[in-house]
Chains A and B, each alone.
Chain A
């Protein structure tokens, strides 16, 4: 029983309060960081800073490192396969060696995208705080961790102090109701949300995702939703831990075991938002009408259902918004009024911290099986981690992809951001399971359409963007 003098608390309040070391008079709080992930993309200058202030890594036991962003994903790769990445990969190795940080390097069975391996290894735990120098760190919120992305200066702060000065954000709860249909995934839920509420709906807020449609999702699908929080401005998205979460975490390498597990599990069950807890904002969101989504423009909010006509800029009242739409039509070489059905593609990419876990590969393989990648299309399947890759191979998914004409790669960020050389060439059109369709994101003058894994698979075998449900009904 809750004592009468305790006000109802949200999930985020509970995690926040147990990590608050000290509140400062200016309204910021020194927050303990339980888990810190370093990677090749953003840690180098942080180590330089550490040398400058002559400090060691304060808590080696709570600090992890991986090479993911700049590493080649080609078969037989080494840390030297992508020449422009060598300098950074070597810098990460040298820094980890010098400061004794354990690094999941190219030859480690644990290697993979930070946000994929942290949950998979049981490094991420419900109720913990986790940060990483990467904006998609909220992916870990799918397990009920308070996880957010930070810049390089803050990476240095955490290395040196295992704590950060943070201002508590406003709290937003998004309650998803209803059911999603066959051929529709959690990626479609979050893209649809973005299309309705826009890219700043969560700015300044921590988001709790709640409601029956969230509860019905397996953990990997919850991670996809949390992953995209930053695309509407939220650094941090979280789902309260439940039985599904506990089942996922149990027996993972760094998860507690035995008596300690029982104690932890009991604690984690107490973390859900109390009845009557108040949020600064609430959004109710119905999932019943969601069809497979795909983005057409250069902002993740520019998503439409596959059979929905693209918006007319002239019907938009806001001047800046109208200009942004016109600019997107020109960059993407599309015209208002048409649907996305039938838009030819050059590249199909399945991967990234948004959609590269086993369930994502399974959803894609289900569509690909017995079909061939269309002529002229380059198709890549890039597992999020070497463990995902091994699990997929144990299920024979690699054969399905390879027989269809997909490339089957090693783990890494790959074409999500192109910093490892996996680029969409200028003017080419890709459909991608990633999270950002910004101008030039997948390479200079690349054109990116975001979608879920099944929709990307459908486009790969059709040669054009198409409704995956049609293919599934022929299976």
Chain B
């Protein structure tokens, strides 16, 4: 996966709680691999039924069309386990989602693909969302920095908020490492486990040939 170190970019506020993976990537919007996931992301919020854009939707408005960061409400990514939701965000250009909390499967999927989920407090998150929403009117770029090397978010006013990431997740993201390599490195332990477990729980090991 692509490493994540420091990302500076436009951040779009989507302060609705419980944004689910059906909203991010609706099933009915096509499952073919040829569908451009970035284009269909938030399909039902972004487009009318005739395919025209809904101008009010945040990601249809400049400068948020170029967002690299989403700032969202609590429990982001709840619902279906579909990893397409993460792929769609990445394909659109989103590298990081900042929210007060994430659904468990989404967070795992995000880590596996180099999309950084950043948890900050609900009040800080709400304040950041408001500041971003007002930034264009105030004539300033709604741009922030997410620094994984130092584990801080640099806000519009230059203040920094720190966040936590599990050490091994951080290391993997910084270097762009895939977890499968770590797992396959333990193959002999898996084989030994199965040998022993087969004695104790033989009914688990089906013989279907």
- Using CB atoms and an 8 Å cutoff, list the residues of chain A in contact with chain B: 18, 21-22, 24, 26-28, 30, 32, 34, 41-42, 44-45, 49, 53, 55, 60-62, 69-70, 84-85, 87-88, 102, 125, 127-128, 133-135, 149-154, 156-157, 160-165, 167, 169, 199-200, 203-204, 230, 233, 235, 254-256, 260-261, 263-264, 267, 299, 320-321, 323-324, 327, 417-419, 423, 426, 436, 438-441, 443-445
Contacts and interface: CB of A to CB of B under 8 A. Distances in A.
A203 B15 CA distance: 19
A160 B190 contact: no
Contacts of A18: 197, 200-201
Contacts of A61: 205-209
Contact of A157 (B23, B104, B179, B204): B179
Contacts of A320: 15-17, 73-74
A34 B168 CA distance: 26
Nearest to A232: B78
A204 B28 CA distance: 29
B83 interface: yes
Given A32-B197, A149-B105, A417-B27, A162 B75 contact: no
A125 B18 CA distance: 33
22 contacts: A26-B166, A26-B167, A30-B190, A42-B82, A62-B205, A125-B203, A151-B86, A154-B112, A160-B183, A161-B186, A163-B190, A169-B104, A199-B75, A200-B78, A235-B104, A267-B201, A324-B18, A419-B28, A439-B44, A440-B23, A444-B44, A445-B49
Contacts of A260: 202-203
B30 interface: yes
Contacts, number: 195
A445 B190 contact: no
Contacts of A32: 190, 193-194, 197
A91 B181 CA distance: 26
A173 to B, nearest CB: 18
A88 B73 CA distance: 33
Given A21-B193, A26-B166, A267-B201, A152 B17 contact: no
Interface in B19-40: 20, 22-23, 26-28, 30-33
Interface string B154-197: 00000000000011100000000001101110110110011001
A375 B190 CA distance: 59
Contacts of A254: 206
A153 B112 CA distance: 7
Contacts of B194: 32, 162
Given A22-B189, A150-B105, A160-B183, 17 more contacts: A21-B186, A26-B166, A27-B166, A42-B83, A151-B86, A151-B108, A153-B83, A153-B109, A154-B112, A320-B17, A417-B22, A417-B28, A439-B23, A440-B26, A443-B28, A444-B26, A444-B28
A135 B80 contact: yes
Nearest to A424: B28
Contacts of A324: 16-18
B104 A165 contact: no
B63 interface: no
A203 B103 contact: yes
B99 to A, nearest CB: 12
A418 B183 contact: no
Interface in B69-92: 73-75, 78-83, 86
A445 B15 CA distance: 21
B132 to A, nearest CB: 16
B113 interface: yes
Contact of B182 (A53, A150, A165, A204): A165
A163 B183 contact: yes
Nearest to B21: A135
B6 to A, nearest CB: 23
Nearest to A45: B83
A103 to B, nearest CB: 13
Interface residues of B, number: 59
Contacts of A102: 208
B101 interface: yes
B75 A233 contact: yes
A272 to B, nearest CB: 17
Contacts of B183: 30, 157, 160-161, 163-165
Contacts of A445: 44, 49
Contact of B190 (A151, A152, A162): A162
A349 to B, nearest CB: 15
Q: Kindly name the residue among B28, B49, B201 whose own CB sees the greatest number of chain A CB atoms within 10 A.
A: B28
Contact of A441 (B22, B193, B204, B206): B22
Contacts of A444: 26, 28, 44, 49
A440 B81 contact: no
B180 A160 contact: yes
B203 A436 contact: no
Given A28-B168, A128-B204, A419-B31, A133 B180 contact: no
B27 A436 contact: no
Given A61-B208, A135-B105, A438-B20, A22 B75 contact: no
Looking at A102, A152, A321, which has the most chain B CB atoms within 10 Å of its CB?
Answer: A152
B208 A60 contact: yes
The 7 closest A-B CB pairs, nearest first, are A151-B109, A256-B203, A151-B83, A153-B112, A26-B168, A135-B81, A419-B27
Contacts of B200: 18
A21 B32 CA distance: 37
A88 B32 CA distance: 7
A423 B44 CA distance: 15
A234 B179 CA distance: 23
A475 to B, nearest CB: 37
Contacts of A44: 33
Nearest to A150: B81
Contact of B186 (A62, A163, A441): A163
A444 B42 CA distance: 12
A12 to B, nearest CB: 15
B44 A440 contact: yes
